[in-house]
Amino acid sequence: MSTEITDNAGKSRYEIRLDGDLAGFAQYELGDGAVIFTHTEVDPAFEGKGVGGSLARGALDDVRGRGLSVVPLCPFIKKWIDKHPDYRDLVR
């Protein structure tokens, strides 16, 4: 199964696709040097398969690569960062 995570800037969200099918997204707003994550959603057909974690990791890796910080208003992204201390440095 192929996994692709992309920043769909037109919709202000990171998307994860599995074999081309949209499996979930992490909605965001851009702030002053930060990506503000507001909502994450995984299609019920893909729940329990690590899709949300893969999406969080891919989105946060992209944010880090762009030299931005993160404001995790979304409970899922906040909890994921709390469980992965190597990403806490991104939090504003």
Domain that holds residue 13: 3-87
| DSSP annotation of 75 | H
Q: Is residue 92 part of a domain?
A: no
Residue 74 included in any domain: yes
Q: Where are the beta strands (DSSP E) in 1-92?
A: 3-8, 13-18, 21-31, 34-42, 69-72
**Token pair 């969080």 in the structure block, residue:** 56
What pLDDT, in 10s, does the model give residues 29-69? 999 999 999 999 999 999 999 999 999 999 999 999 999 99
DSSP state at residue 1: -
For the chain, the domain total comes to 1
* CATH at residue 77: 3.40.630.30
What gap in Å lies between CA 18 and CA 31, rounded to an integer? 29
Percent of the chain with pLDDT over 70: 100
43 lies in a domain?
yes
Say if 61 falls within a structural domain: yes
How far is residue 67's CA from residue 79's CA, in Å, rounded to a whole number?
22
Tell whether 26 is covered by a domain. yes
pTM score: 0.95
